[in-house]
Amino acid sequence: MARLVPEDYPLDEIASDTERAVVEALLDLADSWFIIPTVVDYGVDRELDIVLLHPAMGVVLVEIRVIPVVRAKTWRGDDCLRSPFETLHQFLCTTQTVAFDH
């Protein structure tokens, strides 16, 4: 079973039902995986939904979208929603300090 960071992270406090369901499903990963839900950059009001860490496989950044669909790296969603690729790129390129929500 994967490990939450911090271990006592209150899953019931994850605002999105979809994000909570994904975190709960990811807990079935091997115990070498670490799951960090909701990484926030308060300086610019930006967040990553989930960060997965593995000592051999590296880091996986997870941006969860409920309705829009991504195919062949083309964002096909509601125009009012930002592309998940843009969201992750902006977070990685501009964030210097992050805070864990708990």
Query: Taking the chain (102 residues) in consecutive chunks of 10 residues, what is each chunk's mean pLDDT?
Result: 92 88 94 88 72 91 70 54 64 52 48
* pTM check: above 0.85: no
Domain count, the chain: 1
Residue 23: CB atoms within 10 Å:
23
Structural domain harbouring 14: 3-100
Longest dimension (CA), the chain: 39
Q: How many helices (H) and strands (E) does the chain have?
A: 2, 7
